Amino acid sequence: MHGLKSTPPHHPASRTLVRAIVSLAATAALATGDFREFKDVTGRTLKAEFAGLEAGQVILKLPNGNLAKVPVERLSKDDHDYIAAQQAKNADAAKAVNGALGFPAFSAGHFATRKAVEIAATMQLPLESESPVGNSWRLYAAVRKPGYTLFGAVPYSVALYSNANGEAESLSIVFANKGDYGSKAGFATEHFNQKAGPDEPTSLADAMKRDHDLIEKALTKALGEGEKQRFGDTGTRRTALRWDWNEHSFLLSLVEGEYVSVQVVSSSHADAGGRSGRVSDADVRARLELSVRRGDNGDVWVSGIPMVDQGPKGYCVPATFERAMRHMGVEADMYLLAMVGQSSAGGGTVVEWLIENLRSQVYRKGRRLRDIAVSDLRIRDLQRHIDAGIPLLWRMCSMPEYNEIAGKNTDTRGGDAHAEWLASVRKDFAKRGKPSDNHHLCMIIGYNGKTGEVAVSDSWGKHFELRWVPIEVANWVNNGDLIVIQP
């Protein structure tokens, strides 16, 4: 099983991608009560709906949909009593929702104004990535934490995303799915050894129905009957069951042959159908410029690229594209990208399919996607992209010898002994014939023109975020293609 597929067996229908993001500026009502007249201590009245209590301020939703914040002490005693009753009602509802989830992750406060690190700690999610566009936490629960369940079902991937201010942006939980289900791949470089992975007791279709039914039952018990809604952007739009509570929307999706998932987003974002916004070119270019780092030894590399750990499956292509897209201000999710790219069960994606189906979507977000054929990597050709803060997605063969050299070279750079070893490595690999196994997609994110090295980043977790490789070894595994997403 490989992360890349070389030729497509058929052409898929045109699809695009979306990963739900949360608009923190919009806040809906905490409770489902009617509009009422609130009165301040001077006797002035305001017709509004109670929409929450934050840091001593009452959030009121006006009839025109706008929000107003009023200090609690400015309101009448009757209003204080009403607010206390509404807060108590929401605390009871939070208890029911947390009971369905299996963790005390939700509170009477708004999901999108909570610190994501607090939710991550409550749900036992390890930090995956820290970047200027926001942080993420991810747990591959089925493999890493046996007995871990959410909504009564075992999740394969639990991912929490924050915005740049650290507030919760979205919670994405993927249950039975074609990538993880029954995969025999391991994590990181062990992926190619095909050792890990459980023997699943039933078919994927049966497992998906089982998980969907368990989750629907848990959410219905806590919040009543869900309502059907179309959710997602263009080609990835699907029908989901939606439950609303306390400006949270819980969206349960079953896409046949693909995945069962629950997304928690703001109700405002769910009302918009899950369509993501566009980040301006000026903002992206300014952030890219700041992302370029330069070392005294001649190292130049792009920092702050979000990490996505592809996990124990062949999703190197979707995971790496998600990283590059988020770095360029385009929202993405590797599971949706796997669907767009027609990834096979357990992994394996035709890059050409993914590029073709993403091109127009990326363009609508103000970015360009280019595929560049290269027979030999040359630092001068990589330099202009890296200097602009743009990583290059790189098709290559992730051979054991390559990974061994990448690790050793990164750990021991500098010194006479290292220089002597490196010289022998360069001489050896410059003469080798190219391999044709372990097809993989990663990123070239840096270069050193003085030492003749490139910096590579794999979607395997923080340990593989930055490794330095001699250009001769990189050319040995080079598979002839670079892909860039740029302003």
Distance of CA 323 to the CA centre of its chain: 8
Top mean pLDDT of 178-182, 275-279, 411-415, 445-449 is at: 445-449
pLDDT for res 463:
93
Task: Provide mean pLDDT across the span 467-482.
Answer: 95
Lowest-pLDDT choice from 2-6, 91-95, 201-205, 386-390: 2-6
H/E segment holding residue 392: strand 392-397
State the Cα–Cα distance between residues 465 and 233, nearest whole angstrom: 30
Mean pLDDT score, 370-396: 95
Residues 12, 338 contacting (CB under 8 angstroms): no
Domains of the chain by range and CATH?
A: 36-101 (2.30.30.700), 111-271 (no CATH), 279-486 (3.90.70.10)
Lowest-pLDDT range of 22-26, 153-157, 395-399, 464-468: 22-26
- Has residue 15 got a pLDDT over 90? no
Which whole number is the average pLDDT over 171-200? 79
Number of H helices, E strands in the chain: 13, 22
Confidence of residue 58 (pLDDT cuts 50, 70, 90): confident
Cα 105 to Cα 119: distance, rounded to the nearest angstrom: 6
Sheet holding 36-39, edge to edge: 36-39, 45-54, 57-61, 67-71
Q: Is the pLDDT of residue 11 over 80?
A: no
Residue 433 CB contacts under 8 Å (≥ 6 apart), including other chains = none
Number of Cβ within 10 Å of residue 293's Cβ equals: 14
Residue of higher predicted confidence among 445 and 14: 445
281-312 pLDDT per residue, tens: 899 999 999 999 999 999 999 999 999 999 99
**17 burial level (CB within 10 Å; 0-12, 13-18, 19+):** buried
pLDDT tens track for 413-453: 987 888 889 899 999 998 889 998 899 999 999 999 999 99
The secondary structure of 221-246 as a DSSP string is HHH---EEEEESSGGG-EEEEEEEET
| C-alpha dihedral sign at 176, 346, 141, 303 | negative
Question: What span, in angstroms and rounded, lies between the C-alpha atoms of 11 and 196?
Answer: 31
Short-list 391, 424, 393, CA closest to 409 = 424
Task: Give the Cα separation of 96 and 218 in Å (integer).
Answer: 10
Q: What pLDDT is attached to residue 185? A: 78
Q: Which of 40-54, 98-112, 246-260 has the highest mean pLDDT?
A: 246-260
Q: Round the average pLDDT of the chain to a whole number and report it.
A: 86
Rounded-to-integer distance, Cα 322 and Cα 160, Å: 15
> How would you label 451-480 residue by residue, b for 16+ Cβ within 10 Å and e otherwise?
bebbbbbbbbbeebbbbbbbbbbbbbbbbe
Q: What is the pLDDT of residue 198?
A: 57
Q: What is the pLDDT of residues 236-253, one digit of tens each?
A: 778 999 999 877 899 999
